[in-house]
Structure 1
Amino acid sequence: MAPFSGILVAMVTPFADDESVSYERTKNLIDYLLAAKPAGLFILGTNGEAYTMTEDEKYDFAKYVIDYVAGRAKIIVGTGLNSTRETIAFSQRIATLHPDALSLVAPSFVAPSQAELVAHYQAVADAVPVPCVLYNMPGKTGINIEPASLKVLSQHPNIIGIKDSSGDWHNFDGYLKNRNSDDFTVIMGSDGRILESLQHGGNAAIAGTGNLLVANVVKLYDAFQAGDLEAAKRYQDNIQPLRTVLHEATTPVSLKAAVTASGVNVGPARRPALMPAPDSQLAKDIAKTVADYKQQGVI
């Protein structure tokens, strides 16, 4: 059985108004998310703004989340950095907190060859005592983890899965076909494709929209598992209005604004990303989306 299944929320990192990490806001967000019983939380990823945080901030945040969740859900922590050496060092540091897995995004800017990428991941997986989940996001990193590379990497005993945010079915289906065994988890990272990915044979989804729509996304997975495709399709369709406003601004500006508008204050995104002005069209679109969700009972 795959080590991860179901819905994991790609959790935002709540900041105070001065952009420092807010643990009070983090506690409130975790309480909101865990009430819907997702399979887990994925922290310090793209929606978590890890790229704006120092390593000490990331360590302290991961420690707080792991301690506060206390086994109530699985925790995957993003530790991928741009060099193999620094990724190993930071991953070893986070491993002392005993998360359920580490997420390793491909090095960005460097644009390594596939052979270099395979060697990078093997070196990190060799060096840490915590299972590793690869994170494919070529739109941000500039490098795609090819299915042929996944065929090699899935044979490593400490590499247990891959999150695919490429939006490319050739990749996703190639991962399913080339994984070493059915115990290797293939996770959808594109929220608009969760249901279809499950129909393709995927095991799980890591959903940024789950910060607001956690109950809806969990119900989507549960409906699919129960064979109720009509309900699953309805829950999938519910995600689209939020995705529309997410695409109107820099990640995760609209997402954070929507969650805060719903009543769970997660603070601003870190600059250079700018939150919408109160009288802007984006702010109005977000407010309407959240109000519609509340009226429909989605949140």
Structure 2
Amino acid sequence: MTDVSGIIVAMVTPLADDQKISYSRTDKLIDKLLTYNINGIFILGTNGEAYSLTEDEKFSFAKHVIEYVNHRTQIFVGTGLNSTSETIDFSQRIATLNPDALSVVTPYFVPPTQEELINHFEKLANSVNVPIILYNMPGKTGVNIDPETVAELSKNSNIVGVKDSSGSIDNMRGYLKLRANKDFGVLSGSDSKILALLEAGGDGAIAATANLLTQNDVDIYEYYQNGNLKMAEECQHRIEPLRKVLHTRTTPSALKATVTASGINVGPAKDPVMMPNSDELEDIDRMISYYRTNNII
């Protein structure tokens, strides 16, 4: 049974210098992540640059990651596309790889109504034999999955959770209040809200900052679960220097640069996204030095 809780890493997709997926770099990043007590790896999301990869590239990458991890942690795969039919087709294709769950972003560009979202996700959930995690990212898609919509979708036994990247703790509280059962996981996709969601009764996070601050992000969850709110708050605060850097460039340019600066080369971002310039790289190096000096990485 899929466990929708704890810290799940929203992993970047390592590329070679020629912009093609690098499986050797991918393995090195996975090896690093698996040394920590994470509860899963989410691939092919926003920070995984799924929007810039072909379906064949995404399938090959998912196959490699699932086989390489070999059940050492859960693997969630992003399969959301812009129409219901293509989302079903691609999700069924990925389902043949037996991931632990599919993370499915809402359709975008022409924002669907809440009724249309329910129809979209219900058709998908009834078409695949892999659990579905809803992915709410209104800042990119132009549509919010409202709490009442999640309440309805959470009644479907194959829809097991939601990742909320709205940045709105009120929206997340709405999910918690209206979800059909407490086995339906509510995860923060906004790393600044990990602790706030846990305090509201949430279940964890799918965190991009965990590519670099893996132990720190796990500590937020574990300290909170163990009742040590002071240390959980301190670990939550430690994310801010990284978040400040991440906001200086187009996603996931700065994140990839920070992971590479830490010693795990994940290559460039996919064109047209450009990597940080020399001045920005100096700021990243100073941030990495700060984290190392304080034994955070």
Q: TM-score range by the shorter chain?
A: over 0.9
**Structure 2 partner of 1:76:** 76
Task: Give the alignment's TM-score, normalised by structure 1.
Answer: 0.98
1:17 corresponds to? 17
Alignment-derived partner of residue 34 in structure 2 = 34
Show the counterpart of 1:287: 285
Partner SS, residue 157 of structure 1? coil
In structure 2, relative to structure 1, the CA distance for the partners of 1:2 and 1:179 (3 Å cut) is farther
How far apart, in 2, do the equivalents of 1:2 and 1:268 lie?
Answer: 32
CA displacement, residues 210-243 of structure 1 (integer Å, 9 cap, x when unaligned): 0000011111111111101111111111100000
Residue number in structure 2 paired with 1:120? 120
Q: CA deviation at 1:283?
A: 1.2
Aligned counterparts of 2:197 and 2:79: Cα–Cα separation in 1: 25
2:144 and 2:195 map into 1 onto residues whose CA distance is 23
Aligned to 2:107: 107
Quote how far apart the aligned CAs of 1:252 are: 0.4
Residue 216 of structure 1: aligned partner: 216
The C-alpha deviation readout for 1:236-259, integer Å capped at 9, x for no partner, is 111000000000000001100000
| Deviation by residue 1:51-87 (Cα, 9 ceiling, x = unmatched) | 0000000000001111111111111000000000000
* Partners of 2:287 and 2:170 in 1: CA distance: 33
**Residue-by-residue CA offset, 1:106-145 (whole Å, 9 max, x unaligned):** 0010211110111000000010000000000000000000
Amino acid at match of 1:81: L
TM-superposition CA deviations, 1:25-56 (whole Å, max 9, x none)? 00000001110120100000000000000000
Instruction: Measure the CA separation in 2 of the matches of 1:260 and 1:10.
Output: 16
Q: Could you tell me whether the CA contact under 8 Å between 1:88 and 1:124 is conserved in 2? A: yes
Q: In 1, Cα distance between the equivalents of 2:34 and 2:105?
A: 25
Q: Residue 247 and residue 124 in structure 1: after superposition, are their counterparts in 2 closer, same or farther (change >3 A)?
A: same
The answer to whether the Cα contact below 8 Å between 1:14 and 1:22 also exists between their aligned partners in 2 is: yes
Structure 2 SS opposite 1:115: helix
Contact 1:2 1:182 in 2 (8 A): no
Which amino acid letter does the alignment assign opposite residue 235 of structure 2?
Y
**Which residue identity lines up with residue 181 of structure 1 in the other structure?**
N
Counterpart CA distance in 2 for 1:103 and 1:2 is 12
**What amino acid is aligned across from residue 79 of structure 1 in structure 2?**
T
Unaligned runs of at least 5 residues, structure 2: none
Pairwise CA distance, 1:2: 8.1
Identity of aligned residues (%): 57
Displacement over 6 Å in runs of 4+: none
Residues in 1 aligned to 2:265 and 2:173: alpha-carbon distance in whole angstroms: 38
Contact 2:80–2:104 (Cα < 8 Å) also in 1: yes
Q: Calculate the TM-score normalised by the size of structure 2.
A: 0.98
